[in-house]
Protein backbone atom coordinates (compact mmCIF):
# COMPACT_ATOMS: atom_id res chain seq x y z
CA UNK A 1 0.00 0.00 0.00
CA UNK A 2 1.51 3.34 -1.08
CA UNK A 3 1.37 6.37 1.17
CA UNK A 4 0.98 9.96 -0.01
CA UNK A 5 3.00 12.71 1.62
CA UNK A 6 0.73 15.76 1.83
CA UNK A 7 2.38 19.06 2.66
CA UNK A 8 1.81 22.77 2.24
CA UNK A 9 3.20 24.79 -0.66
CA UNK A 10 5.74 25.36 -2.10
CA UNK A 11 5.58 21.93 -3.78
CA UNK A 12 9.04 21.19 -5.15
CA UNK A 13 9.17 18.39 -7.69
CA UNK A 14 12.91 17.95 -8.11
CA UNK A 15 15.98 17.46 -5.96
CA UNK A 16 16.05 21.13 -4.95
CA UNK A 17 14.79 21.89 -1.45
CA UNK A 18 13.38 25.03 0.14
CA UNK A 19 16.74 26.06 1.57
CA UNK A 20 18.41 25.80 -1.83
CA UNK A 21 15.70 27.89 -3.50
CA UNK A 22 15.88 30.56 -0.82
CA UNK A 23 19.66 30.73 -1.05
CA UNK A 24 19.38 31.20 -4.82
CA UNK A 25 16.99 34.11 -4.26
CA UNK A 26 19.45 35.64 -1.77
CA UNK A 27 22.30 35.26 -4.26
CA UNK A 28 20.17 36.89 -6.97
CA UNK A 29 19.59 39.92 -4.73
CA UNK A 30 23.28 40.42 -3.94
CA UNK A 31 24.08 42.59 -7.01
CA UNK A 32 21.34 45.11 -6.25
CA UNK A 33 22.12 45.02 -2.52
CA UNK A 34 25.82 45.64 -3.19
CA UNK A 35 25.04 48.49 -5.56
CA UNK A 36 22.66 50.04 -3.03
CA UNK A 37 25.36 49.99 -0.35
CA UNK A 38 27.95 51.36 -2.78
CA UNK A 39 25.65 54.17 -3.82
CA UNK A 40 24.01 55.17 -0.54
CA UNK A 41 26.70 54.34 2.01
CA UNK A 42 27.11 52.50 5.29
CA UNK A 43 23.64 53.24 6.62
CA UNK A 44 22.13 51.26 3.74
CA UNK A 45 24.25 48.26 4.81
CA UNK A 46 23.06 48.68 8.39
CA UNK A 47 19.45 48.70 7.20
CA UNK A 48 19.97 45.39 5.37
CA UNK A 49 21.76 43.74 8.29
CA UNK A 50 19.27 44.91 10.93
CA UNK A 51 16.23 43.96 8.84
CA UNK A 52 17.50 40.44 8.12
CA UNK A 53 18.59 39.83 11.71
CA UNK A 54 15.23 41.07 13.02
CA UNK A 55 13.37 38.73 10.65
CA UNK A 56 15.43 35.69 11.63
CA UNK A 57 15.26 36.51 15.35
CA UNK A 58 11.49 37.08 15.22
CA UNK A 59 10.96 33.69 13.57
CA UNK A 60 13.25 31.93 16.04
CA UNK A 61 11.67 33.48 19.14
CA UNK A 62 8.11 32.90 17.93
CA UNK A 63 8.71 29.25 17.08
CA UNK A 64 10.54 28.65 20.36
CA UNK A 65 7.79 30.39 22.31
CA UNK A 66 5.06 28.40 20.54
CA UNK A 67 7.00 25.14 20.99
CA UNK A 68 7.24 24.57 17.26
CA UNK A 69 10.09 23.27 15.16
CA UNK A 70 12.60 26.04 14.48
CA UNK A 71 12.85 26.49 10.70
CA UNK A 72 15.24 29.42 10.35
CA UNK A 73 17.69 27.11 8.55
CA UNK A 74 15.43 27.10 5.47
CA UNK A 75 16.49 30.76 4.92
CA UNK A 76 12.94 31.93 4.13
CA UNK A 77 13.19 34.52 6.93
CA UNK A 78 16.45 35.76 5.42
CA UNK A 79 14.72 36.23 2.05
CA UNK A 80 11.85 38.11 3.71
CA UNK A 81 14.31 40.36 5.53
CA UNK A 82 16.35 41.06 2.39
CA UNK A 83 13.32 41.89 0.25
CA UNK A 84 11.97 44.21 2.93
CA UNK A 85 15.37 45.87 3.46
CA UNK A 86 15.85 46.50 -0.26
CA UNK A 87 12.45 48.20 -0.29
CA UNK A 88 13.57 50.67 2.39
CA UNK A 89 14.77 54.25 1.84
CA UNK A 90 18.54 54.33 2.46
CA UNK A 91 18.37 56.82 5.37
CA UNK A 92 15.40 55.25 7.17
CA UNK A 93 15.77 54.96 10.99
CA UNK A 94 16.76 51.38 11.84
CA UNK A 95 13.79 50.74 14.13
CA UNK A 96 11.37 51.05 11.20
CA UNK A 97 12.65 48.11 9.10
CA UNK A 98 13.12 46.10 12.31
CA UNK A 99 9.45 46.70 13.15
CA UNK A 100 8.55 45.72 9.60
CA UNK A 101 10.44 42.44 9.95
CA UNK A 102 8.54 41.55 13.11
CA UNK A 103 5.24 42.40 11.40
CA UNK A 104 6.15 40.32 8.34
CA UNK A 105 7.34 37.24 10.19
CA UNK A 106 4.87 37.06 13.07
CA UNK A 107 1.63 38.66 11.86
CA UNK A 108 1.76 37.65 8.18
CA UNK A 109 3.77 34.43 8.17
CA UNK A 110 3.81 32.59 11.50
CA UNK A 111 0.28 33.41 12.68
CA UNK A 112 -1.04 31.78 9.52
CA UNK A 113 1.00 28.62 10.02
CA UNK A 114 4.44 29.44 8.67
CA UNK A 115 5.99 29.04 5.24
CA UNK A 116 3.43 27.87 2.70
CA UNK A 117 0.42 28.98 4.74
CA UNK A 118 0.73 32.77 4.46
CA UNK A 119 -1.80 34.22 2.03
CA UNK A 120 0.31 37.19 0.95
CA UNK A 121 3.98 38.04 0.55
CA UNK A 122 5.20 38.86 4.10
CA UNK A 123 7.82 41.42 3.02
CA UNK A 124 5.35 43.29 0.80
CA UNK A 125 2.67 43.24 3.49
CA UNK A 126 5.19 44.74 5.92
CA UNK A 127 6.21 47.42 3.43
CA UNK A 128 2.57 48.42 2.88
CA UNK A 129 2.11 48.53 6.67
CA UNK A 130 5.14 50.81 7.01
CA UNK A 131 4.07 53.01 4.10
CA UNK A 132 0.82 53.70 5.92
CA UNK A 133 2.11 53.95 9.50
CA UNK A 134 5.50 55.62 8.87
CA UNK A 135 4.80 57.58 5.68
CA UNK A 136 7.14 60.45 6.60
CA UNK A 137 10.19 58.19 6.73
CA UNK A 138 9.16 55.75 3.99
CA UNK A 139 8.78 58.48 1.38
CA UNK A 140 12.05 60.31 2.02
CA UNK A 141 14.68 59.30 -0.55
CA UNK A 142 18.35 60.23 -0.64
CA UNK A 143 20.17 61.43 -3.70
CA UNK A 144 22.95 59.02 -4.73
CA UNK A 145 26.70 59.04 -4.29
CA UNK A 146 26.92 61.14 -1.14
CA UNK A 147 26.39 58.55 1.56
CA UNK A 148 25.70 60.06 4.98
CA UNK A 149 25.52 63.60 3.58
CA UNK A 150 22.79 62.62 1.10
CA UNK A 151 20.07 65.12 0.38
CA UNK A 152 16.41 64.35 -0.11
CA UNK A 153 15.24 64.36 -3.71
CA UNK A 154 12.22 63.40 -5.79
CA UNK A 155 12.32 60.08 -7.61
CA UNK A 156 12.11 60.04 -11.43
CA UNK A 157 8.58 58.58 -11.24
CA UNK A 158 7.48 61.45 -9.01
CA UNK A 159 9.00 63.99 -11.41
CA UNK A 160 7.23 62.40 -14.40
CA UNK A 161 3.91 62.28 -12.59
CA UNK A 162 4.15 65.94 -11.58
CA UNK A 163 5.04 66.94 -15.14
CA UNK A 164 2.05 65.07 -16.59
CA UNK A 165 -0.24 66.68 -14.04
CA UNK A 166 1.10 70.13 -14.94
CA UNK A 167 0.83 69.45 -18.66
CA UNK A 168 4.58 69.69 -19.31
CA UNK A 169 6.92 67.13 -20.87
CA UNK A 170 7.29 64.17 -18.47
CA UNK A 171 10.77 63.37 -19.82
CA UNK A 172 12.27 66.76 -19.05
CA UNK A 173 15.26 66.24 -16.76
CA UNK A 174 15.03 62.42 -16.91
CA UNK A 175 18.38 60.75 -17.60
CA UNK A 176 17.79 57.29 -19.14
CA UNK A 177 21.38 56.17 -18.55
CA UNK A 178 21.11 57.11 -14.87
CA UNK A 179 17.82 55.21 -14.67
CA UNK A 180 19.38 52.05 -16.09
CA UNK A 181 22.56 52.20 -14.00
CA UNK A 182 20.80 53.40 -10.84
CA UNK A 183 22.24 56.85 -10.22
CA UNK A 184 18.87 58.10 -8.97
CA UNK A 185 17.04 58.56 -5.66
CA UNK A 186 14.97 55.59 -4.51
CA UNK A 187 14.95 52.62 -2.16
CA UNK A 188 18.13 50.67 -1.52
CA UNK A 189 17.42 47.82 -3.92
CA UNK A 190 15.16 49.19 -6.62
CA UNK A 191 17.31 51.87 -8.26
CA UNK A 192 19.67 49.87 -10.50
CA UNK A 193 17.85 48.14 -13.33
CA UNK A 194 21.16 46.63 -14.44
CA UNK A 195 21.83 44.98 -11.06
CA UNK A 196 18.24 43.73 -10.83
CA UNK A 197 18.37 42.22 -14.31
CA UNK A 198 21.59 40.40 -13.43
CA UNK A 199 19.78 38.84 -10.49
CA UNK A 200 16.76 38.04 -12.66
CA UNK A 201 18.96 36.24 -15.21
CA UNK A 202 20.41 34.15 -12.37
CA UNK A 203 16.94 33.16 -11.14
CA UNK A 204 15.85 32.21 -14.65
CA UNK A 205 19.07 30.28 -15.26
CA UNK A 206 18.63 28.34 -12.01
CA UNK A 207 14.96 27.78 -12.92
CA UNK A 208 13.85 29.22 -9.59
CA UNK A 209 11.27 31.28 -11.49
CA UNK A 210 9.78 31.20 -14.99
CA UNK A 211 9.53 34.17 -17.33
CA UNK A 212 5.73 34.21 -17.58
CA UNK A 213 4.72 36.38 -14.61
CA UNK A 214 7.59 38.95 -14.79
CA UNK A 215 7.46 39.48 -18.55
CA UNK A 216 3.65 39.64 -18.79
CA UNK A 217 3.48 41.92 -15.76
CA UNK A 218 6.03 44.38 -17.17
CA UNK A 219 4.45 44.25 -20.64
CA UNK A 220 0.99 44.98 -19.20
CA UNK A 221 2.31 48.01 -17.31
CA UNK A 222 4.08 49.21 -20.47
CA UNK A 223 0.90 49.00 -22.55
CA UNK A 224 -1.18 50.71 -19.85
CA UNK A 225 1.16 53.67 -19.33
CA UNK A 226 1.50 54.08 -23.11
CA UNK A 227 -2.27 54.25 -23.56
CA UNK A 228 -3.11 56.40 -20.55
CA UNK A 229 0.14 58.22 -19.74
CA UNK A 230 2.35 59.60 -22.47
CA UNK A 231 2.55 57.89 -25.85
CA UNK A 232 6.29 58.03 -25.99
CA UNK A 233 8.75 55.13 -26.09
CA UNK A 234 11.13 56.98 -23.76
CA UNK A 235 8.32 57.55 -21.26
CA UNK A 236 7.32 53.87 -21.29
CA UNK A 237 10.93 52.77 -20.86
CA UNK A 238 11.40 55.24 -17.99
CA UNK A 239 8.29 53.80 -16.30
CA UNK A 240 9.80 50.31 -16.58
CA UNK A 241 13.28 51.27 -15.38
CA UNK A 242 12.15 53.70 -12.67
CA UNK A 243 10.69 52.66 -9.34
CA UNK A 244 10.20 49.12 -8.13
CA UNK A 245 8.68 47.50 -11.23
CA UNK A 246 11.63 45.27 -12.18
CA UNK A 247 12.32 44.38 -8.54
CA UNK A 248 8.67 43.56 -7.96
CA UNK A 249 8.28 41.62 -11.19
CA UNK A 250 11.16 39.19 -10.65
CA UNK A 251 11.52 39.01 -6.86
CA UNK A 252 8.05 39.62 -5.39
CA UNK A 253 5.35 38.83 -7.93
CA UNK A 254 6.90 35.37 -8.43
CA UNK A 255 6.52 34.27 -4.79
CA UNK A 256 5.64 30.55 -4.83
CA UNK A 257 3.15 30.69 -1.98
CA UNK A 258 1.00 33.69 -2.89
CA UNK A 259 0.70 33.27 -6.68
CA UNK A 260 -1.50 30.90 -8.71
CA UNK A 261 -0.09 27.48 -9.51
CA UNK A 262 -1.81 27.10 -12.88
CA UNK A 263 -0.17 28.55 -16.00
CA UNK A 264 -3.38 30.31 -17.11
CA UNK A 265 -3.79 31.61 -13.59
CA UNK A 266 -0.29 33.06 -13.61
CA UNK A 267 -1.02 34.88 -16.87
CA UNK A 268 -4.27 36.33 -15.51
CA UNK A 269 -2.52 37.24 -12.25
CA UNK A 270 0.28 39.05 -14.10
CA UNK A 271 -2.19 41.03 -16.21
CA UNK A 272 -4.25 41.98 -13.14
CA UNK A 273 -1.29 43.31 -11.15
CA UNK A 274 0.00 45.05 -14.28
CA UNK A 275 -3.28 46.90 -14.76
CA UNK A 276 -3.39 47.79 -11.06
CA UNK A 277 0.16 49.14 -11.17
CA UNK A 278 -0.73 51.27 -14.19
CA UNK A 279 -3.84 52.58 -12.44
CA UNK A 280 -1.89 53.51 -9.32
CA UNK A 281 0.91 55.17 -11.28
CA UNK A 282 -1.19 57.15 -13.74
CA UNK A 283 -4.40 57.91 -11.83
CA UNK A 284 -3.40 57.41 -8.19
CA UNK A 285 -2.10 60.02 -5.77
CA UNK A 286 1.34 58.42 -5.57
CA UNK A 287 3.92 57.76 -8.26
CA UNK A 288 4.46 54.07 -7.47
CA UNK A 289 2.00 51.24 -6.92
CA UNK A 290 3.95 48.00 -7.28
CA UNK A 291 3.65 46.88 -3.65
CA UNK A 292 -0.07 47.53 -3.34
CA UNK A 293 -0.75 45.93 -6.73
CA UNK A 294 1.04 42.70 -5.86
CA UNK A 295 -0.63 42.53 -2.44
CA UNK A 296 -4.06 42.87 -4.07
CA UNK A 297 -3.00 40.22 -6.59
CA UNK A 298 -2.05 37.94 -3.69
CA UNK A 299 -5.53 38.33 -2.23
CA UNK A 300 -7.11 37.52 -5.60
CA UNK A 301 -4.77 34.60 -6.25
CA UNK A 302 -7.03 31.85 -4.79
CA UNK A 303 -9.96 33.07 -6.91
CA UNK A 304 -7.82 33.23 -10.04
CA UNK A 305 -6.39 29.79 -9.39
CA UNK A 306 -9.83 28.30 -8.75
CA UNK A 307 -11.17 29.73 -12.00
CA UNK A 308 -8.24 28.43 -14.07
CA UNK A 309 -7.83 24.89 -12.73
CA UNK A 310 -7.99 22.53 -15.73
CA UNK A 311 -10.80 20.00 -15.75
CA UNK A 312 -9.86 16.47 -14.79
CA UNK A 313 -9.34 14.10 -17.71
CA UNK A 314 -12.64 12.61 -18.80
CA UNK A 315 -14.75 15.01 -16.77
CA UNK A 316 -17.36 16.98 -18.64
CA UNK A 317 -18.29 20.54 -17.93
CA UNK A 318 -21.69 21.57 -16.65
CA UNK A 319 -24.45 21.03 -19.19
CA UNK A 320 -26.22 24.05 -20.53
CA UNK A 321 -29.90 24.25 -19.69
Cis peptide before 10 (omega within 30 of 0): yes
Residue scoring higher pLDDT (277 or 230): 277
Helix locations, 109-192, DSSP H: 122-133, 135-138, 156-166, 176-181
pLDDT of residue 5: 52
b/e code 251-280 from CB counts within 10 Å (16+ = b):
bbbbbbbbbbebeebbbbbbbbbbbbbbeb
What percent of the chain has pLDDT above 70?
Answer: 88
pLDDT digits (tens, 9 = 90+) for 61-111: 999 988 888 888 888 999 999 999 999 999 999 999 999 999 999 999 888
What is the mean pLDDT of the segment spanning 244-260? 90
- pLDDT band of residue 130 (cuts 50, 70, 90) is very high
- Summary mean pLDDT of the chain: 86
Q: Is the pLDDT of residue 259 over 90?
A: no
- Neighbour-count burial of 13, counting CB atoms closer than 10 A to its CB (0-12 exposed, 13-18 middle, 19+ buried): exposed
pLDDT of residue 280: 93
Residue 38, φ and ψ in degrees, nearest 5: -60, -40
The DSSP bridge partners found for residue 152 are 142
Beta-carbon neighbour count of residue 109 at 10 Å? 29
Sorted by sequence, the CB contacts under 8 Å of residue 84 that are 6+ apart come out as 51, 55, 97, 100, 101, 104, 123, 126, 127
Distance CA 71, CA 61 (A): 11
pLDDT digits (tens, 9 = 90+) for 265-312: 999 999 999 999 999 999 988 878 899 999 999 999 989 988 888 776
Amino acid sequence: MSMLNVSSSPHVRDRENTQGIMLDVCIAMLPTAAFGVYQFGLHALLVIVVTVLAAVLAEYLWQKGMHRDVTIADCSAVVTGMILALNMPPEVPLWIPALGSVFAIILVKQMFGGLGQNWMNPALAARCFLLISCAKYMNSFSSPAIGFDATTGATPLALMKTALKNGTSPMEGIDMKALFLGRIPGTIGEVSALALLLGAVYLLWKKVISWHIPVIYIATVAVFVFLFGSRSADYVLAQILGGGLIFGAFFMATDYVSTPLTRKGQIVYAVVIGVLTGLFRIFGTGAEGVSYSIIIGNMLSPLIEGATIPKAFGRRGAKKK
